[in-house]
Amino acid sequence: MQQMLQDFFKAVRSHDITISAAESIEASRTAELIGFDDREILKLALSVTLAKSVDEKARFNDCFDEFFTFNSFQQDEESASSASPAKAPANESQPPGQSAEEQVASHYEGKSELVKMVMERNRVALANEMKRAARSVGVTDIWLFTQKGIYTQKILKEMGMQEINQEIAELANTTCPRGKAQAALLRQVRKLLLEEVRSFVEQQLSLYGSGTSKRLREEFLMNTRLSNIERRDFHRMHEIVRRLAKKLSDTHAKKRKQTQRGVLDFRKTMRRNVAYDGVMFETYWKTKNLERPRIVCICDVSGSVSAYARFLLLFLYSLNDVLMQIDSFAFSSHLVDVNDIFKEHPVEQAIELALKEAGGGSTDYGQMLRDLKQNRIENSDNLRNIDHRSTVIILGDARNNYGEPRLDVMKLIYQRAKRVIWLNPEPQISWNTGDSVIGKYRPFCHLVKEANTIKQLEGLVDNILKHSLAG
Amino acid sequence: MKELHDQRFTSVAEIEREFSNAGYICNREIATAIYIAFNLHKPILVEGPAGVGKTELAKTTASILDVPLIRLQCYEGLDESKALYEWKYGKQLLYTQLLKDKLNELLGTTHSLAEAMGKLRQQDDLFFSEEFLEPRPLFKALHEERGCVLLVDEIDKSDHEFEAFLLEVLSDFQVSIPEIGTIEARVKPIVFLTSNNNREMSDALKRRCLHLSIPYPEPELERRILESRVPGLSERLREHLVSFVHQVRALDLKKLPSISETIDWARVLVLMHAESLEPKLVQETLNTILKFQDDIEAVNEQLDALIADSEQPMAKTGG
């Protein structure tokens, strides 16, 4: 029973639900408490212990149903004589000329236990044998469809297919009709077993492999250069980016707002109570005020970065979704405030709109900085201006079409803001080549980094948030 | 005196029965979660929209087990001095002043400073004893003689720090107080944590808890709940009402009506001696289930269609 639960945990894990060791112990205890009699309650009980969100619960239920359809409990009990679901298809797939076959079967003279089992139609024993073989070759490790063949072969071998092959080979040269009939029968058996095991392995793959291949794909996407990602993966990227952004905000967002009530401030209490002749009636508490940092994020969507623009905007959108105090802009030349677009439209639409509003033109960083100065440094509404609490993030390649870089504004921003961070989607090797002026901006940034995979972006933003929120 | 764990729930069905006797109609999942929590001493993290009976679940559990319910309402900035214990600083200060004479007397016989300090040291634990300790909900819950049901309400509103602090309580049912030592639970309480999903709880917390999510109920369940909570309601009206509410939940609204609102509405209808869902009556009482003017307007626009649909047999509108 324990082994089966272990297999089940493995299947659950492959469905993207993390189970820690402690949880698996907990789940085992739960299963023990509940017992295996009432499947419905067992399912609920395990779901309560293992799946820790609504999402996970849905996935868990699928996995449970799939797993226990062909691992029904009666099967493990020896007393069970009813046909198990796993072998039900075997029944159907048996050839129509069964009765003739059975006659021959009674004459089967070989020594293979396996053939005898098939002949006796002992399905429970066969299923158990198959499972035993599967376990010993570790079929639960399967995670790619290309492995189907090899696992099928391994299981068959473990079950004793070689003996059958050998007997077929021995019988091949015989001329006696009875020997031929035996050989035909064995071939039939072999085919049946092959089909049976193959379908079993397929089920195992869908059970243990589904999560893994998805994970692989995501892993791949996260580490691929943004410029190389295809449009059709956009949807999946959005999911990944949204999750990353959520994670980032979960770790950081809460820190922004709290005035913590601390411990007794003794010095202040004494001082305040001097008036009462040192009798301390009034208490004074140490408090900790955390400031609210702001992030100003500016995203280049011009022609030179068109390959990245979509994903940078996607990233920006996701950050907007989860961070409260973020001020987002997009630009090619003139700066466009995209806060409202992001707020009002769903992601696909918002990105299209932002691209339409800001994108396409030739890059002019000078104009962008001029606009930024006007909007966020000399704004009459002081609260919107960049100040010592602001972190400025610029996503762009700094290819300025040989225009005026307006370093004076950049310097001003550098002096005003808490941190200025430039994330460049170009590989570092092509920095400062052609019309790239990243080198000129560099002195006025606290950090200049190459960022062209989602993974890098995540790491950087995590870092940024940590710094900007810590102080 | 009877203790919390003197009682035993022997099966999930028994819990369902007990709860329904106490007026809380719960589904299998909820009953299973309570069964496990009770027998394996695990806290339950209950998630779901507001008003589906998360808090009520804890209250009912307490009343069935006949133990006190201790409630800790979480909010931003809640810290251990509010949740666990606090020294009564004012009292301590006042006592030092009032006992000045006594202290003079005590120390008057000493001849050196060191001696006086020594004498004082023999007494100073007095000021950090339980006499001066202000117990807060968590401390009370651990100290309860017969065990209790501890309800940590709206844990998602608290800060990360507090969540981390809770971990010790949840896994070992003990807390450490620097001045006194570790305090263990006399009887392990049954702990409910509720969350409205304002933020994701940390993995560490989730790992220590059973996870129960209570969604809006199925029509069948909601009818049973109404039957138990508002007995005066006619069966026909009950059907219509549940069906109507379920349709409203399918709309795109700011705040969807949950069970507590349905119950309120049913009570209002009983009070007004309503026999069926009259458009005018519905319009007037809509504010019991919808809490935003925008929502009320949105529903008002489609009122006739909704009422007409709800008169249909339930099979079509289920879910």
Q: What is the 3-state secondary structure (H, E, C) of B6-38?
A: HCCCCCHHHHHHHHHHCCCCCCHHHHHHHHHHH
Residue A255 three-state SS? helix
Instruction: Say if the Cβ atoms of B90 and A57 lie within 8 Å.
Output: no
Residue B277 three-state SS? coil
B 97-126: CB under 8 A from A: 97
Cβ contacts of A447 within 8 Å, gap of 6 or more: A419, A420, A421, A422
Say how many Å lie between the first and final Cα of chain B, rounded: 46
Instruction: Say if the Cβ atoms of A48 and B29 lie within 8 Å.
Output: yes
Instruction: Say if the Cβ atoms of A283 and B12 lie within 8 Å.
Output: no
When pLDDT is cut at 50, 70 and 90, the band that residue A323 belongs to is low
pLDDT, residue A253, reads 56
Name the residue among B32, B76, B81 with its Cβ closest to that of A45: B32
Name the residue among B45, B77, B211 with its Cβ closest to that of A261: B77
Closest alpha carbon to A11 in A207, A211, A215: A207
Higher pLDDT, A320 or B258: B258
Residue A248: count of CB within 10 angstroms of its CB:
20
B76 at interface of A, judged by CB pairs closer than 8 A: yes
Name the residue among A40, A254, A283 with its Cβ closest to that of B160: A254
Neighbour order of strands in the sheet with B190-195: B69-73, B149-153, B190-195, B44-47, B210-213
Closest alpha carbon to A359 in A424, A306, A425, A396: A306
Higher pLDDT, B97 or A288: B97
pLDDT, residue B78, reads 83
Instruction: Say if the Cβ atoms of A33 and B36 lie within 8 Å.
Output: yes
pLDDT, residue B110, reads 78
When pLDDT is cut at 50, 70 and 90, the band that residue A85 belongs to is very low
Instruction: Say if the Cβ atoms of B79 and A54 lie within 8 Å.
Output: no
Q: Looking at the predicted structure, is the pLDDT value of residue A277 above 80?
A: no
Instruction: Say if the Cβ atoms of B32 and A41 lie within 8 Å.
Output: yes
Neighbour order of strands in the sheet with A326-331: A335-337, A326-331, A294-300, A390-395, A419-424, A447-450
Q: Looking at the predicted structure, is the pLDDT value of residue B6 above 50?
A: yes
**Ramachandran angles phi, psi of B223, nearest 5°:** -60, -40
Residue B114 three-state SS? helix
Residue with tokens 């369902």: B16
B47 at interface of A, judged by CB pairs closer than 8 A: yes
pLDDT, residue A75, reads 39
* Residue A26 with chain B: CB contacts under 8 Å: 40, 42
pLDDT, residue A86, reads 39
Judged by average pLDDT, the poorest of A109-123, A404-418, B38-52, B277-291 is A109-123
For A49, name the nearest residue in chain B, comparing CA atoms only. B210
How far, in Å, CA of A410 to CA of A364, rounded? 14
pLDDT-above-90 percentage for chain B: 14
Q: Looking at the predicted structure, is the pLDDT value of residue A389 above 80?
A: no
Residue A288 three-state SS? strand
How far, in Å, CA of B11 to CA of B31, rounded? 9
Instruction: Say if the Cβ atoms of A250 and B40 lie within 8 Å.
Output: no
When pLDDT is cut at 50, 70 and 90, the band that residue A249 belongs to is low
Closest alpha carbon to A291 in A321, A260, A245, A265: A260
Instruction: Say if the Cβ atoms of B76 and A264 lie within 8 Å.
Output: no
Helix-then-strand count for chain B, H and E: 17, 9
DSSP codes of every residue in B39-72: HHT--EEEE-STTSSHHHHHHHHHHHHT--EEEE
pLDDT, residue A241, reads 77
Q: Are A207 and A10 in contact (CB under 8 A)?
A: no
B167 at interface of A, judged by CB pairs closer than 8 A: no
Q: Looking at the predicted structure, is the pLDDT value of residue B316 above 80?
A: no
A156 is written with which tokens?
A: 């068959």
B41 is written with which tokens?
A: 């001493």
Name the residue among A33, A49, A57 with its Cβ closest to that of B39: A33
**Given the DSSP bridges, would you call strands B85-87 and B133-135 parallel, antiparallel or unpaired?**
antiparallel
* Residue A257 with chain B: CB contacts under 8 Å: 76
| pLDDT tens, residue by residue, B224-244 | 888 888 888 888 888 888 998
pLDDT, residue B317, reads 41
Q: How many CA atoms lie within 13 A of A452 on its CB side?
A: 18
A221-248: average pLDDT: 73
pLDDT, residue A469, reads 55
A70 is written with which tokens?
A: 């062909």
Q: Looking at the predicted structure, is the pLDDT value of residue B257 above 60?
A: yes
Instruction: Say if the Cβ atoms of B79 and A260 lie within 8 Å.
Output: yes
B75 at interface of A, judged by CB pairs closer than 8 A: no
Indicate the burial class of A295 (C-beta count within 10 angstroms; 0-12, 13-18, 19 or more).
buried
Q: Are A195 and A93 in contact (CB under 8 A)?
A: yes
Q: Looking at the predicted structure, is the pLDDT value of residue B77 above 70?
A: yes
Per the rule left: phi > 0, alpha: psi between -120 and 50, beta: everything else, A287 is: beta
Q: How close B97 comes to chain A (CA, Å)?
A: 7
Instruction: Say if the Cβ atoms of B93 and A51 lie within 8 Å.
Output: no
Q: How close B213 comes to chain A (CA, Å)?
A: 7
B91 at interface of A, judged by CB pairs closer than 8 A: no
B161-178: average pLDDT: 84
Q: Looking at the predicted structure, is the pLDDT value of residue B24 above 80?
A: yes
Instruction: Say if the Cβ atoms of B90 and A264 lie within 8 Å.
Output: no
The strand ranges marked E within chain B are: 44-47, 69-73, 85-87, 133-135, 149-153, 174-177, 181-184, 190-195, 210-213
How far, in Å, CA of B96 to CA of B103, rounded? 9
For B13, name the nearest residue in chain A, comparing CA atoms only. A41
* Residue A261 with chain B: CB contacts under 8 Å: 77, 79, 81
For B97, name the nearest residue in chain A, comparing CA atoms only. A279
Q: How close A224 comes to chain B (CA, Å)?
A: 29
Q: Are B147 and B186 in contact (CB under 8 A)?
A: yes
How far, in Å, CA of A106 to CA of A109, rounded? 8
Cβ contacts of B173 within 8 Å, gap of 6 or more: B41, B142, B184, B185, B188, B189
Burial code (b: 16+ CB inside 10 Å, e: under 16) for B138-167 equals bbbbbebebbbbbbbbbbbbbbbebbebbe
pLDDT, residue B44, reads 93
A432 is written with which tokens?
A: 């400062």
* Averaged pLDDT score across all residues of chain B: 84
Please state whether the predicted TM-score (pTM) of the whole model is above 0.95: no
Residues of A with CB under 8 A from a CB of B: 18, 20, 22-23, 26, 29-30, 33-34, 38, 40-41, 44-45, 47-49, 51-54, 57, 246, 250, 253-255, 257-261, 264, 279-281, 283
How far, in Å, CA of B286 to CA of B297, rounded? 10
For A54, name the nearest residue in chain B, comparing CA atoms only. B213
How far, in Å, CA of B257 to CA of A174, rounded? 81
Q: Looking at the predicted structure, is the pLDDT value of residue A57 above 60?
A: yes
Instruction: Say if the Cβ atoms of A48 and B159 lie within 8 Å.
Output: no
Residue with tokens 């918002």: A350
Closest alpha carbon to A313 in A341, A290, A344: A341
B191 at interface of A, judged by CB pairs closer than 8 A: no
Closest alpha carbon to B29 in A34, A63, A40, A5: A40
pLDDT, residue B81, reads 81
* Residue B199 with chain A: CB contacts under 8 Å: 250, 253-254
Highest mean pLDDT among A458-462, B21-25, B197-201, B252-256: B21-25
Q: Looking at the predicted structure, is the pLDDT value of residue A16 above 90?
A: no
| pLDDT tens, residue by residue, A253-272 | 555 444 555 677 777 787 77
Q: Looking at the predicted structure, is the pLDDT value of residue A458 above 80?
A: no
Cα A221 → chain centroid: 11
pLDDT, residue A317, reads 82
Instruction: Say if the Cβ atoms of B212 and A48 lie within 8 Å.
Output: yes
Length of chain A measured in residues: 471
Length of chain B measured in residues: 319
Highest mean pLDDT among A126-135, B24-33, B72-81: B24-33
Cβ contacts of A347 within 8 Å, gap of 6 or more: A238, A314, A317
- Beta-bridge partner residues of A335: A331
Which of B32, B98, B155 is the mutation pick for testing A, counting most A CBs within 10 A? B32
How far, in Å, CA of A383 to CA of A294, rounded? 10
A342 is written with which tokens?
A: 């992001």
A394-408: average pLDDT: 86
Q: Is the ipTM beyond the 0.85 threshold?
A: no
Instruction: Say if the Cβ atoms of A280 and B93 lie within 8 Å.
Output: yes
* Residue A41 with chain B: CB contacts under 8 Å: 12, 28, 32
B214-229: average pLDDT: 89
pLDDT, residue A97, reads 41
Residue A339: count of CB within 10 angstroms of its CB:
12
Which of A52, A277, A321, A466 is the mutation pick for testing B, counting most B CBs within 10 A? A52
* Averaged pLDDT score across all residues of chain A: 76
Judged by average pLDDT, the poorest of A374-383, B149-158, B300-309 is A374-383
A352-359: average pLDDT: 84
pLDDT, residue B313, reads 58
Residue B194 three-state SS? strand
Q: How close B48 comes to chain A (CA, Å)?
A: 9
Size of interface A-B (CB pairs under 8 A): 86
Highest mean pLDDT among A117-126, A324-333, A409-418, B91-100: A409-418
Which of B28, B30, B36, B199 is the mutation pick for testing A, counting most A CBs within 10 A? B36
How far, in Å, CA of A283 to CA of A231, rounded? 63
Q: Looking at the predicted structure, is the pLDDT value of residue A69 above 80?
A: no
pLDDT, residue B161, reads 79
